[in-house]
Chains A and B, each alone.
Chain A
Amino acid sequence: MLNQLFQPAHGTALAGYILGAIVFSLIVFAALMAVPPRFRRNIILMATFVGGLFYALEFFWPVHAMPTPEDPTRVGNFLSPYVVPFGDITTVIFAWTVGLGVINLCQVHGKRVIKGASGAFNSMAFFLSMIVMLVVYILQQAHPNAINKNMKVLLFDGGLQSLDATMFSIIAFYIVSAAYRAFRVRSVEATLLLCTAVIVMLGQIAIGQMLTQRIPADPHNFVHNFRIEIIRDWIMTKANAPATRAVAFGLGIGGLAVALRIWLGLERGSYFESQG
């Protein structure tokens, strides 16, 4: 039913839908703002509970075959057809919050530019970049000619992506300084870490594996276990992987507990008033 209601619209109908959605959203916002904070919290708790209940029921309820022309093997239950329309609500909320994020950025940088405070030059660079990127992107979408496409490639791929790559490459230098501190022999634990790291690193590279190449490669020979790549595999699969899985077990259970607290409205002490 919801899918039939939310069919793609075009032309005047689309403009009408957009206008209607904005008016509806503003009315909802105004109504929420008019509600006293005490009741607003109850509304949030109720919305959280209903949302959580929907997804939990959809996930846990037994499934049966629900083939579609696109996916003949699809399975689902009576709630599955509503997952996509329900998920679209998140997209709408996200679209509104992006606007809030941009407003915050403009407020912070705008104040700095108006006051001429330190960093005003950077704030002006922010406004310039935002406006130029916005204009070029809209032009590229509206008139996808060669100039507009090239402008977008120049700014996005040539500028933004390159800046991203530059920041990412800095990590290489930070890894060296962090590794130096981590591997300094200051305690028994640090020494153990250093030895383990050296074995794993040597086991990863050909020159390291050459060190133990004279040891027989026959897996039935006990001495074979002393080949550096075998020791590396043992460290990674018998020591490292179980430890990581144990951490993941704890995180999974912890995540479940927090999700339950949020869903049932028991996390009040963190965001709202204490339990007293």
Chain B
Amino acid sequence: MEHASTTVQILVPLLSIVIVLTILIARRRNLFIRRIEGLTAIDEAIGRTTEMGRPMVCSIGLGSLDVPTLQALAITTYIIRASARFSNRVIVPIADATIYPIAEVAVREAYVAEGRSEQFNADDVRFLSDRQFAFAASVAGLIAREKAAACFYFGSFYAESLIFAEMGRQTGAIQVAGTPSTTQIPFFIAACDYVIIGDEFYAASAYLSREPTLLGSIVGQDIAKGILIGIVVLGSAIVSIAAAVGSPMGQSFFTLFK
């Protein structure tokens, strides 16, 4: 079992306090966050789906009950809410049985929230397979058979990312992707129309919903990143100076953040 080092015992609670404080501030004040191109494209994709009268596919990846998958599900529910206003059909393929009941409830609630509960079709939230390439084959087949007009890939992806994205491209779907799996970002960039990178993935639900709590946490994230950048710059300076004057202080700094 892993436990926190002293540095982590200080740093993580400190960053958590910063994030929670900004959330509390955001409930009283309007906060600004910049425009994110990839997320603005979601509306474009929904509009195109409406024009074409074909379904859209929202994949939340291979992840289990973890933070990236729950975030992907949050983004998916916003997409469904936006598309429900135009009576678009949305298919949500699921790879993990644990997340399936949660996804089904979240999707149903998204339709209910828009007053379109009759549009919800339980068969459109589909558990396909928990085997990576069986799931890849199923989703690729689904995209091809249903001739998806738009494909959204948010969540944890592995080697199957390119299979999905290339199949979507072959069917002419507009594709938007966002993943915390850094090794898959290049594949999505090569095959998708819009890709959100890095922590933009975690900013997505705030950007789309404009909920004060979520906006506050995004600002908190930026402050936390500022603190980390400060530590990196300070550390680089200390280690460089220590190396130049032959002091062991640089090594101590390394040990502290090991």
Contact = CB atoms under 8 A, between A and B. Distances in A.
A98 interface: yes
B97 A251 contact: no
A261 B131 contact: no
B174 interface: no
Nearest to A169: B133
Interface string A263-275: 0101111111111
Given A247-B198, A253-B224, A101 B74 contact: no
Interface stretch (B44-52, B53-61, B98-106, B237-245): B98-106
Interface in A91-149: 93-94, 97-98, 100-102, 104-105, 107-108, 111, 119
A257 B123 contact: no
Contacts of A170: 163
A80 B125 CA distance: 38
Interface residues of B, number: 76
B162 interface: yes
Given A59-B2, A181-B190, A182-B189, A171 B159 contact: yes
A104 B20 contact: no
> Do most interface residues of chain B lie in helix, strand or loop, or is the interface mixed?
helix
B76 to A, nearest CB: 10
A271 B109 contact: yes
Interface string B1-44: 11110001100110110011001000000000000000000000
Nearest to A182: B190
B187 A178 contact: yes
Contacts of A164: 131-134
**Size bin of chain A's contact surface:** 35 or more
Contacts of B106: 271
B191 A270 contact: no
B249 interface: no
Contact of A266 (B97, B159, B217): B217
A58 B180 CA distance: 26
Given A163-B133, A167-B133, A251-B180, A269 B213 contact: yes
A254 B68 CA distance: 10
Contacts of B190: 178-179, 181-182
Nearest to A59: B4
Given A167-B163, A255-B68, A261 B214 contact: yes
Contact of B162 (A171, A269, A271): A171
A271 B74 contact: yes
A260 B19 contact: yes
Contacts of B201: 251, 254
B217 A247 contact: no
B100 A104 contact: yes
B228 A264 contact: no
B137 interface: yes
Contact of B228 (A98, A253, A272, A274): A253
Given A251-B198, A254-B202, A267-B74, 18 more contacts: A60-B4, A60-B8, A60-B13, A164-B131, A174-B162, A178-B187, A246-B198, A253-B15, A253-B199, A255-B67, A255-B202, A256-B15, A261-B23, A267-B214, A269-B209, A270-B205, A271-B74, A271-B109
28 contacts: A59-B3, A60-B4, A60-B8, A93-B98, A97-B97, A98-B97, A101-B97, A105-B126, A119-B145, A171-B159, A181-B190, A247-B182, A248-B182, A251-B182, A251-B202, A253-B224, A257-B224, A258-B67, A258-B70, A260-B19, A260-B217, A261-B23, A266-B213, A267-B70, A269-B205, A269-B213, A270-B77, A274-B211
Interface of B: 1-4, 8-9, 12-13, 15-16, 19-20, 23, 67-68, 70-71, 73-74, 77-78, 94, 97-98, 100-101, 105-106, 109, 113, 122-123, 125-128, 130-134, 136-137, 145, 159, 162-163, 165-166, 180, 182, 185-187, 189-191, 197-199, 201-203, 205, 209, 211-214, 217-218, 220-221, 224-225, 228
